[in-house]
Chains A and B, each alone.
Chain A
């Protein structure tokens, strides 16, 4: 009897072990597959999402966003607030208190000097730092003591948390990058590929565009974490192959950005090895309507500029009808499944900023037809409406992407039902999203009548995102086609609100004004026709615990907490 009790005790303690005595490196290797492979571990040099995600295994910011989009301290001891004196009353400065127990992965202590250095690094005029916008308006940044950093701004800032918040702007180690500032930044290959960080892992081998191997950081602040001893980040292939290696073959634990048709995902999930989850940030798939004339008969520097209003899309009734004819529920069902929600908003989140704008969610072909009839657009013999010799015939362009091409076909069909003829065009993503002023096929040139793509904003402050649509910011030869007001929307009242928004400090008031501006762009003018509020979808194995997708920060923000479930 005695022996049996002992045995049972042993068995019980064995089964308890993983939960009770989780220790660093006990769970073996974590396999991540990113079909678009990271090119560097340095987010300041690239700015691409894939590099930000890869580097977040190693580098950390002062504060990050959790899955709900709320800020939480990482390297900071606490978030600066008015109460704890971190935020100045006049909103002209912010003071960060740093944790005193943080060590870099080489064993040296993390101090305020590193934070100051990082700011200098990014703000160096010759450096070409991709996150420079986060440091805009900073006049000085100083280390008051080894654990305190003060950032001062040129003017009162309603949102003082842009620099060092979120995985796009993590802290670099001064000792490592001291010789890599300015024009030297790109030549420090060794440092850029193997940054010394404070995060849960450190790089052991970096092969650009291919494979990154990492091991648990021995200096990580929580001695029990990370649970995985090593990480393998594999790049290459396509979204379907990546999803397959997690959901069907089980070769990897986590696949980033598996945007696939819902039925394909469902088929792969049926293997029972893992599932696809989505997190919603601020990404909205939308159609931009060109309010100016893209006709190729115009001189090159007047095409798609305010000099010539669009022959028919300048009619609000036509734009409204285009929006009414779309069944957004069906688009979601076909293209995104659980990784999408129908939306009428340009700013879908945070909650305070999201307008109660649901009118467009029900498709109304009849209503759209009636509206066009009323506006004087009469159907001709071929079923296409016209007025005064102007036919409702459009060019609809987007980037090459299977889901977008399905959307194009569907929307073309609906528009044909309201008497609008559509020609479809696709452009290679690297050309479409590249801002090459010499190419006619870029998003900014907009040599088409309508175009579809998705955009979002960093962090949880939508003000700069709303600020894109001012009159002066419309792309034109004057700004080398680099403007961001893609629809060429121009409303003096809107311009006034953009500048006013910068000065408002009260969060509630800001959100209210943001909602009004959102409505002006969408339901009032239909210059932008939002379609789908998109999540970022990623696949992970069932055996992987602790995954909590995050659309506000690097999606593997809590990788230190991941572990492998006992079989």
Chain B
């Protein structure tokens, strides 16, 4: 397993380089203009000058290599400087966003906390709800619990968040006035009151997202449990006189986790990608909102950097999933 992991990690480098090139070319080729937001009152000659100031006059291979250098050399150097107070990267140009003209990584760093608290929390809540529901639904297939669970999760999944989010805002934000409809990103948790305020503003976005995530995970959990509950080894285990709890939670659950691990491993990088629509509805302004405004503004350095970090996470998490498969089912070997 160790040699497999090392081999995969080495292979990840060319893979990621290739992915970054494909993303860059895709962004280059897709239509759009970083100056799309500039009013029509600005004449074309001035636009041309503004475009040149963004560095768009250079041919694409130069811009791509420049980005690679900035991402893999300048940025790490800059962090090194930050930590050790050195000055290696003092005169080097960091990756600069077209829209805000500020270093891309600084903006990302601003956005990570709210995305992790809201989207991350919703994912954790979703998993914590989904796995017990999935197990119980499968164990008591077609019971009332299962029927209601199926019903709620399918509705939770088929209703888009642009709808459920607004419904929650109208009920709990406007009519009952229990929770704020606008998320305050500048809120710092210092004492119990600010902690309560943070909880209040998190409840609605976390609920919406957790419902959506839980629906998906619980369906996979249920179907996989059902598959395994009918297997011969379950009968054997029961015949051996193992308690029902041990049979279900140890043997069946472990064997049922492979699809669930896959889904969660694909979902965790998505946590970093933020939740575009939910963040918009509740004005959370995390990474999802950052990505979508950058895409709309054709902010190539920002989109490229964000999607590339996302790609790194995907590669890492698929690797983790592959390793976990081997742990869950020792028969799976990769060499």
Interface residues of A (CB under 8 A from B): 33, 37, 39-40, 42, 45-49, 125-133, 183, 185-187, 189, 192-193, 205, 207-211, 213, 232, 234-238, 240-241, 244-245, 248-249, 251-252, 271, 428-436, 438-442, 455-458, 464-465, 479, 482-484
For the complex formed, measure the closest distance between the CB of A350 and the CB atoms of chain B, giving whole angstroms: 16
Knowing A132-B49, A234-B182, A238-B280, the reply to whether A244 touches B169 (Cβ < 8 A) is: yes
For the complex formed, measure the closest distance between the CB of A174 and the CB atoms of chain B, giving whole angstroms: 20
Knowing A37-B285, A430-B296, the reply to whether A245 touches B181 (Cβ < 8 A) is: yes
Residues of A within 8 A of B281 (CB): 237-238, 241
Knowing A192-B101, A207-B185, the reply to whether A458 touches B41 (Cβ < 8 A) is: yes
Which residue of A is nearest B290, CB measured?
A209
Residues of B within 8 A of A185 (CB): 53, 101
A455 to B174: give the CA distance in the assembly, Å: 35
Instruction: Tell me if B182 and A128 are in contact (CB < 8 A).
Output: no
Instruction: Tell me if A435 and B169 are in contact (CB < 8 A).
Output: no
A435 to B47: give the CA distance in the assembly, Å: 9
Instruction: Tell me if B50 and A128 are in contact (CB < 8 A).
Output: yes
For the complex formed, measure the closest distance between the CB of B56 and the CB atoms of chain A, giving whole angstroms: 10
Q: Which of A192, A210, A213 has the most CB of B within 10 A?
A: A210
Instruction: Tell me if A482 and B47 are in contact (CB < 8 A).
Output: yes
Interface 1/0 per residue, B22-40 and A, CB below 8 Å:
0000000001111111111
Knowing A241-B283, A244-B169, the reply to whether A479 touches B101 (Cβ < 8 A) is: no
A461 to B44: give the CA distance in the assembly, Å: 19
Instruction: Tell me if B102 and A482 are in contact (CB < 8 A).
Output: no
Judge whether B42 is part of the interface by a CB distance below 8 angstroms. Answer: yes
Judge whether B48 is part of the interface by a CB distance below 8 angstroms. Answer: yes
A465 to B103: give the CA distance in the assembly, Å: 36
Interchain CB contact (< 8 A) of B103 among A189, A438, A441: A189
Taking residues whose C-beta sits less than 8 angstroms from the other chain, chain B's interface range is 35 or more
Q: Which of B96, B169, B174, B283 has the most CB of A within 10 A?
A: B283
For the complex formed, measure the closest distance between the CB of A72 and the CB atoms of chain B, giving whole angstroms: 21
A171 to B43: give the CA distance in the assembly, Å: 22
Residues of B within 8 A of A207 (CB): 110, 185-186, 285
Judge whether B82 is part of the interface by a CB distance below 8 angstroms. Answer: no
Instruction: Tell me if A251 and B180 are in contact (CB < 8 A).
Output: yes
For the complex formed, measure the closest distance between the CB of B277 and the CB atoms of chain A, giving whole angstroms: 10
For the complex formed, measure the closest distance between the CB of A317 and the CB atoms of chain B, giving whole angstroms: 30
Instruction: Tell me if B54 and A248 are in contact (CB < 8 A).
Output: no
Residues of B within 8 A of A39 (CB): 99-100, 297
A438 to B41: give the CA distance in the assembly, Å: 22
Q: Which of B35, B49, B100, B169 has the most CB of A within 10 A?
A: B100
Interchain CB contact (< 8 A) of B285 among A211, A240, A433, A455: A211
Counting residue pairs across A and B whose Cβ atoms lie within 8 Å, the total is 193
Instruction: Tell me if A434 and B285 are in contact (CB < 8 A).
Output: no
Instruction: Tell me if A209 and B169 are in contact (CB < 8 A).
Output: no
Knowing A458-B41, A479-B44, the reply to whether A213 touches B186 (Cβ < 8 A) is: yes
Task: With A128-B51, A130-B38, A232-B186 given, name 8 new contacts (CB 8 A).
Answer: A49-B39, A132-B45, A185-B101, A187-B101, A189-B101, A249-B173, A251-B182, A430-B36
Interface 1/0 per residue, B61-82 and A, CB below 8 Å:
0000000000000000000000
Knowing A132-B46, A234-B182, A237-B280, the reply to whether A431 touches B36 (Cβ < 8 A) is: yes
Judge whether B236 is part of the interface by a CB distance below 8 angstroms. Answer: no
Knowing A45-B101, A130-B46, the reply to whether A241 touches B181 (Cβ < 8 A) is: yes
Knowing A133-B42, A211-B186, the reply to whether A434 touches B181 (Cβ < 8 A) is: no
Which residue of A is nearest B110, CB measured?
A207
For the complex formed, measure the closest distance between the CB of B172 and the CB atoms of chain A, giving whole angstroms: 10
For the complex formed, measure the closest distance between the CB of B48 and the CB atoms of chain A, giving whole angstroms: 7
Judge whether B256 is part of the interface by a CB distance below 8 angstroms. Answer: no
Interchain CB contact (< 8 A) of B298 among A37, A430, A455: A430
For the complex formed, measure the closest distance between the CB of A205 and the CB atoms of chain B, giving whole angstroms: 7
Residues of A within 8 A of B34 (CB): 434
For the complex formed, measure the closest distance between the CB of B103 and the CB atoms of chain A, giving whole angstroms: 7
Instruction: Tell me if A435 and B44 are in contact (CB < 8 A).
Output: yes
Judge whether B52 is part of the interface by a CB distance below 8 angstroms. Answer: yes
A485 to B151: give the CA distance in the assembly, Å: 57
Q: Could you write out 18 A-B pairs with CB less than 8 Å apart?
A: A39-B99, A40-B102, A46-B37, A47-B39, A128-B53, A189-B103, A208-B100, A209-B107, A209-B289, A211-B285, A234-B283, A236-B283, A430-B33, A430-B36, A430-B296, A431-B32, A434-B34, A439-B31
Residues of A within 8 A of B42 (CB): 47, 130-131, 133
Judge whether B177 is part of the interface by a CB distance below 8 angstroms. Answer: yes
Interchain CB contact (< 8 A) of B38 among A48, A235, A251, A431: A48
Instruction: Tell me if A48 and B47 are in contact (CB < 8 A).
Output: no
Judge whether B228 is part of the interface by a CB distance below 8 angstroms. Answer: no
Instruction: Tell me if B32 and A133 are in contact (CB < 8 A).
Output: no
A37 to B93: give the CA distance in the assembly, Å: 26
A482 to B43: give the CA distance in the assembly, Å: 9
Knowing A130-B46, A236-B284, the reply to whether A438 touches B31 (Cβ < 8 A) is: yes
A205 to B184: give the CA distance in the assembly, Å: 14
Instruction: Tell me if B39 and A48 are in contact (CB < 8 A).
Output: yes
Judge whether B223 is part of the interface by a CB distance below 8 angstroms. Answer: no
Which residue of B is nearest A439, CB measured?
B31
Residues of B within 8 A of A125 (CB): 49
Instruction: Tell me if B44 and A430 are in contact (CB < 8 A).
Output: no
For the complex formed, measure the closest distance between the CB of B275 and the CB atoms of chain A, giving whole angstroms: 13
